[in-house]
Chains A and B, each alone.
Chain A
Amino acid sequence: MLLFTLAARPALAGLSAAEALALVKVVDERQRNSGDWKGQFFLHQQEKGKNDLVYDGVYFRRDADDRLMIVFVQPRSERGKGYLRISKNLWFYDARIGKWERRTERERIGGTDSNRQDFDESRLAEEYLARHSGDATLGRYRAYVLELRARPGVDVAYPTLKLWIDQDSRNVLKRQEFAASGKLLRTSYYPHWVKVQSPSKGGEVWYPRELRIFDELEPANRTTMVVREVDLRPLPANIFTKAWLEAQSR
């Protein structure tokens, strides 16, 4: 009902908290896939005073079980390294020394500005409460600007978010992440969204083909993440295990 109201509402009218949350649910729902997920990604991190980091890799998701696996394929020195999320625990595997380490939610994936959330299922409505703070124009797009605050008792990497949501497509165009103190930490842009047909969902699944992340504390630092190909066919059952990731580097 709320979704219907949202669709019918004139673009410039203010949204109530419930409508704002419903809009966030739409954002989540458009990206949700009820089955498995396999995507190939490319990461490029530029950091002042350091050599650029460039990675090619594959990530697998099984959202029903809260599982995520990220495996680096290139460069050669990083091949076989990866992350495995089982429930609330994120593990990192270093193939060079054959050792697993538990990492936190805020882990910078491969030392870049991307984190687990950038690869994982969008669960904004579960994790945050939303408030419509206005409308804005981003280039040729009209966008709802929503302010999201973490729900009490939910642990998230960024306690406050600001989302710019395309009023036509309901895709996220821009996202800002704030510290608990209110300081802006990271701004991400989503210039290109792609849809794929999901057999398990029986409908379309949208994903950002490109994500540009800007570090607001160190403006010279930026990360570009490109998702090259997404495959939504069922994955083998044993992928989300430590043994599987260990086997990739043997």
Chain B
Amino acid sequence: MRRLLLIAARNLLQHRGRTLMLGSAIALVTLLLVLLTSVSRGVQDTMLRAATTIATGHVNIAGFYKITSGQAAPVVTRYEPLVKWVRQQVPEARLVVDRLRGWGKLISPTASVQVGVRGVDIDAEPELARVLSIVQGDLRGLRRPHTALLFAKQAEKLAVRVGDTLTLSAPTVRGANNAVDVEVVAIARNLGLLSQFNIFAPKQTVREIYLLKRDTTGAIQLLLRDPSRAAGVAERLRAGLTRQGYRLLDAQAEPFWMKIPIVTREDWTGQKLDVTTWRDELAMLTWILTAFDTVTVVVVGILLVIIVIGVMNALWISIRERTREIGTLRAIGMGRGRVLLMFMLESGLLALGATTIGALLGVAGAQLLNAARIELSPGFAIFLMSDTLQLAVWPRAVVGAAALISGVITCFALYPAYRAARLRPVLALHDVG
């Protein structure tokens, strides 16, 4: 085996030009795959971070209360016992908080914008202080009633600064119009699309606008230690809530605001709960991830086909050039299996070396791009939820990319290697090349 490895390695070195060309191509494809998966992972991480800061937990228990069959409000009544129950049921949650949800019009003397209003208790949400980058004012200002945190883009559109007063106008649960004045206490750096449509206000202010009681909230949000377990936790909570006697909405992978017209049409009154994951709440945006993954698969697929053709072609050439050598080896007693293994090792070695270099270059490239803090155009920034391009190198994805490309190349080398092994020694020795 060691000898075969040596022959394969020597052969690669002997045909330096061909090896370099093929190796470079393989390394390039690996580099590209690593970079694309890092971008995709980066978008997912950024999206998750922005979403769980602004709009959703990894898992949410929310729902609708219908006073009449024609009026649905996104609220959960008598939520405090539910929070206790959730804490007991989900020990893997690192944070369980409740937030109020609303939709209203934010009006300044010069402009107005429609926004989602997130009612928060700023002291109960340390994550907010960690993730939000405050460019003006102080997040702790949200401890006072009738205050609001805006994002930079909103502040720019409304032409307001910290200390200015805005009017927040919204319909109450019973359909009456209401409005309160709020003081801008902080302006945060934009967090992509979601930050264009959301503001934060203290819980009591949101309750005041919507005329809600103290025992009412919008959603109980769970942040998990391992977000990838969100779907499993949601399923467990659904089963548990049903056993507890709560009425649940049918599971639908849609954000809560898209469910309002559906729920409004349904003929029931009272409370129904809904358990969703962050992916459900961002269903409108996960197409970005799907699009990235599709582009990655298509681009890498095309490149892989080209590389595979190149490797197979190189092996054919190699076999042709070395027909007499194969004949000699077979004549002195080398079995067909070992000839096949020798050629497989040659392509395997080439693939392994090139993908390792490609993967390392990919990781370095990702780090360099992150360090360069490349600014995204406004359109991209909205959808990627970040002002700068952020790549996340995921070791498992890097190893996977290298293994996949090495595996595919080695597999496609099987046929030429098999053909080489099938050469009859007598004919091979008489080959004139």
Contact = CB atoms under 8 A, between A and B. Distances in A.
A159 B176 contact: yes
Interface stretch (B167-175, B238-246, B378-386): B167-175
Contacts of A183: 167, 178-181
A76 interface: no
From B68, B111, B169, B174, residue with most partner A Cβ within 10 Å: B174
A153 to B, nearest CB: 10
Contact of A49 (B105, B111, B171): B111
B24 interface: no
Contact of A181 (B112, B175, B208): B208
Contact of A158 (B177, B181, B209): B177
A88 B175 CA distance: 12
Interface in B47-85: 68, 70-71
B318 interface: no
Contact of A180 (B70, B176, B265): B176
A89 interface: yes
**From DSSP, what is the main secondary structure of chain A's interface residues?**
loop
Nearest to A100: B265
B70 A158 contact: no
Nearest to B261: A101
B175 A217 contact: no
Contacts, number: 64
Interface in B177-210: 177-181, 208-209
B178 A181 contact: yes
Interface residues of B, number: 25
Nearest to A90: B70
B211 interface: yes
B171 A104 contact: yes
Contacts of A150: 176
A218 B70 contact: no
Contacts of A218: 107, 112
Interface residues of A, number: 23
A183 B112 CA distance: 17
Contacts of B178: 179-181, 183
Nearest to A106: B171
A29 interface: no
Given A101-B261, A150-B176, 19 more contacts: A49-B111, A104-B71, A104-B171, A106-B176, A106-B177, A155-B175, A155-B176, A157-B177, A177-B177, A179-B176, A179-B177, A179-B179, A180-B211, A183-B167, A183-B178, A217-B107, A217-B167, A217-B169, A218-B107
Across the A-B interface, the 4 shortest Cβ-Cβ residue pairs:
A179-B179, A179-B178, A105-B175, A183-B179
15 contacts: A88-B70, A101-B261, A102-B70, A155-B174, A155-B175, A155-B176, A157-B175, A159-B176, A179-B180, A180-B177, A181-B208, A181-B209, A183-B179, A185-B177, A217-B167
Interface of B: 68, 70-71, 105, 107, 111-112, 167, 169, 171-172, 174-181, 208-209, 211, 261, 264-265
